[in-house]
Copies of this chain bind each other. A is one copy, B any other.
């Protein structure tokens, strides 16, 4: 038991160091994931254009930017750019009689590096979240479980995904950044998630589009952000991305 306790102590220590390091602005560790949803501005060839803008800004600013186009667009986006491409959803289904399900192996073969799971616009059961994370891990892919509050963030951390992304539903698409509207939800989510899984990395989303939003999120303990309309529907998405990364 003492060993277990020691372990606990070390993990908490490590975690707090990690938070400390992030706060220094070492921007290489910030992760930005752009969700194209079903916006026409992010469909088909428009998704390819957005992906190219992401790639340019990522390289220029030295940050990691990934894009999540619609599932039918993964293949052509992945062939056009070398930044990570994520699916917006994946099922835990294996090979077999699963018509219409999004099979992890299929999105991997199409070029995806990972997937969102349980986005507020595509909620899954607890059992299905677990099987989706497992399917991604089996295919050596990244997993981002989306959650809606502190308690669900902690629960999702138990699955040990690559990231948990907290997005208060009321703020999604609102233009009001979560880092302003409810900064406590970020710090509390990070704290609760780390108690469950000291290695977990928390992203935050909802309403984020500008440089100060990203900076605030990172200062509150997030390892990065999930964003959508603020960039995808911007008049000039590339400039919007440059602004986003300008303060880190």
Contact = CB atoms under 8 A, between A and B. Distances in A.
A107 interface: yes
A37 B97 contact: yes
A46 B106 CA distance: 11
A1 B8 CA distance: 11
A62 interface: no
A13 B139 CA distance: 35
A69 to B, nearest CB: 9
Interface of A: 1, 3-14, 16, 35, 37-40, 43-45, 68, 70-76, 87-89, 93-103, 105-107, 109-110, 112, 116, 118-130, 134, 147-149, 151-152, 154-159, 172-173, 192, 196, 198, 228-229
Contacts of A127: 120, 123, 147-149, 152
B196 A158 contact: yes
A30 B211 CA distance: 55
Nearest to A154: B158
Contacts of A87: 72
A150 to B, nearest CB: 10
Given A126-B129, A151-B130, A196-B158, A106 B7 contact: no
A93 B38 contact: yes
Nearest to A14: B3
Q: What 9 A-B pairs have minimum CB-CB distances, sorted nearest first?
A: A89-B100, A100-B122, A44-B109, A72-B110, A155-B158, A38-B103, A99-B121, A123-B125, A99-B119
A9 B13 contact: no
A167 to B, nearest CB: 10
29 contacts: A3-B13, A4-B198, A37-B96, A38-B94, A38-B96, A38-B97, A43-B103, A43-B106, A71-B71, A72-B75, A72-B87, A73-B75, A73-B110, A75-B75, A75-B76, A88-B99, A99-B119, A99-B228, A100-B119, A123-B125, A126-B129, A126-B152, A126-B155, A127-B147, A127-B149, A151-B159, A154-B196, A155-B155, A155-B158
B89 A99 contact: yes
B103 A70 contact: yes
A5 to B, nearest CB: 5
Contacts of A102: 70-72
